[in-house]
Structure 1
Amino acid sequence: MRVPRLFVDQPLASGAECALGQRALDHAVKVLRLRDGDGVCLFNGSGGEFAARLVRAPGGELRAQVGEFTPDRCESPLHLRLVQGISRGERMDYTLQKAVELGVSDIVPVTTERTVLRLAGERAARRLAHWRGVVLAACEQSGRTRVPPVAEPCGLEEYLARYDAAAGTGLLLDPSAAQALATLQDLRGPVSVLIGPEGGLSAAERQLAQAAGYRPVRMGPRVLRTETAAVVALSLLQALAGDIGG
């Protein structure tokens, strides 16, 4: 049976005993039904993971006795950023979850002309917290030991204004592009992939992205949903980098 993995937001060290934190504790007890004496795997996002065993403290609190450390073993060699046009509800959650499973390094949600979901103030803060929770859960499930940061949402134009094209390779998914993503041979890391929301990017936004240094690439003869496009693009890039499929 696979050992349950829990994220804890604190330093970890072999031989120490640590509190789990409310999120990890709720997940361990209410979802996984773990008890005193059960084995778990702990990670804090800084790389590597620790074997651990749950123990009942004198006051009744369930804590973790930290054991042997294992270094990173499943992180991608390619630094891969996903710049994702914000989509609605479960579509965005699915995109984030699968991006984490596919080894994405960081995620930037952007608002575009055709973005349906508009976020501001407290609503934006709640949605960002939710997205970060989706990412944490995906890390626990997939074996990731580094947690991809999810940036605060911003407008596409604002993001492009600060994008440094000299720092790596920028790719813009465009069904009409002349070059196929799978044929790329000159990738320079880090790689940044820009994907539109439902309805895609407008012509003006595609021009703006290209002016900022994003190269248009296509993935095939069919138009993909935004959440499908992210999965396919990240999979192809990781295959080109030798992270998957080998």
Structure 2
Amino acid sequence: MKQVFAKNPVNLNENFCLDEKQAHHIFDVLRSSPKETIRLVHEDEIYLAHPQEKPFLYVFGVEKADLRLVDVTLCAALIKQDKWELMLQKAAELGVSRIVPFECKNTVVKIDEKKLSKKYDRWSTILEEACKQCNRADYVVLEPISSLKGLADYKSQCNLVAYEKEDGSNHISACLMDNPSSVTVVIGPEGGFEPKEIEVLESLGFVACSLGSQILRAETASMYVLSVIEYQSHLKPANDQA
């Protein structure tokens, strides 16, 4: 089902006016017909609407939103643009709640302050499109670029850092066995973390964990971690019943 994020309040049994870009996409690009149903999302509420005369949708119903089982914050070191944008897209599809870009010693990407606003606009667009594509009823929050120590501000109930030199016995899946309601995971840059940086993160309360025997690319590591968390969260009801 096609989906639109509404920036203004939506009222049941009334017409909703799309903005120019949204109207062009729904009516001109997708050529939606009056018989189709469009999902209209506003502040975690999902409304159902039929296309009317451009740029209006008639709101006729409400759909129950699926609540996420785990609130996930991904702290990801900045990496090269194409890999970073792929990571943003897949992270949104895999249910991340919040993304915190950060810089550390081996970060090779340095963003010009003058271009930062445009970068964030592009990143936000990628996240929004990914959320629409997978029918999410919420946005991914994109936080300002942080320092390594600044990641302490984004801690959750369970706080992990993926480290390629960590003993394989401390796999991330084992760290999630207590079924936390919120998780923060730190993923390093292409060159990995320095040992002293792991010490800093551990002093902040993050637990180093393994992602297995293979050395994963930074963008792959993010997708892997989010997939494991999503899988573990769906085991929770079964574990609780047991």
Q: Do these two structures clear the TM 0.5 threshold for a shared fold by scoring above it?
A: yes
- 2:190 aligns with one of 190, 198, 221: 198
Distance 1:106 1:189 in 2: 14
TM-score (norm 1): 0.87
| 8 Å contact from structure 1 (residues 77, 243) kept in 2 | no
Q: Summarize deviations over 1:200-230 as a string: whole Å, max 9, x none.
A: 2222222211111110111111100111101
The runs of 5 or more residues in structure 1 that have no matched partner are: none
Runs of 4+ with deviation above 3 angstroms: 33-39
- 1:182 aligns with one of 158, 173, 185: 173
For 2:160, the aligned partner's letter is: L
Match of 1:52 in 2: 49
1:31 Cα offset (Å): 3.8
The 5 A counterparts of 1:51-200 are 51-56=48-53, 61-73=54-66, 75-160=67-152, 162-164=153-155, 167-178=156-167, 179-184=170-175, 185-200=177-192
| 8 Å contact from structure 1 (residues 132, 150) kept in 2 | yes
Distance 1:114 1:92 in 2: 15
Aligned alpha-carbon RMSD (Å): 2.1
Q: Summarize deviations over 1:29-80 as a string: whole Å, max 9, x none.
A: 4542335664321112x22311111221xxxx4221112011212x421111
1:102 Cα offset (Å): 1.2
For 1:144, the aligned partner's letter is: R
Distance 1:222 1:183 in 2: 17
| 8 Å contact from structure 1 (residues 79, 191) kept in 2 | yes
- 2:213 aligns with one of 218, 221, 239: 221
The runs of 5 or more residues in structure 2 that have no matched partner are: none
Distance 1:189 1:111 in 2: 27
Q: Summarize deviations over 1:139-193 as a string: whole Å, max 9, x none.
A: 1111110112111222223333x345xx511100012212111222234332100
1:12 Cα offset (Å): 1.3
* SS of corresponding position for 2:52: strand
Distance 1:22 1:209 in 2: 46
* SS of corresponding position for 1:200: coil
* SS of corresponding position for 1:103: coil
For 2:62, the aligned partner's letter is: F
Q: Summarize deviations over 1:80-118 as a string: whole Å, max 9, x none.
A: 110111112221111111111111111111122222222
Distance 1:228 1:159 in 2: 21
1:234 Cα offset (Å): 0.9
> Aligned pair in 2 of structure 1 residues 215, 90: CA closer, same or farther (>3 Å)?
same
| 8 Å contact from structure 2 (residues 73, 154) kept in 1 | no
Seq. identity, %: 22
| 8 Å contact from structure 1 (residues 47, 71) kept in 2 | no
> Aligned pair in 2 of structure 1 residues 219, 39: CA closer, same or farther (>3 Å)?
same
* SS of corresponding position for 2:142: coil
1:28 Cα offset (Å): 2.1
Match of 1:210 in 2: 202
> Aligned pair in 2 of structure 1 residues 139, 115: CA closer, same or farther (>3 Å)?
same
> Which deviates the most, 63-72 or 179-188?
179-188
Distance 1:54 1:243 in 2: 39
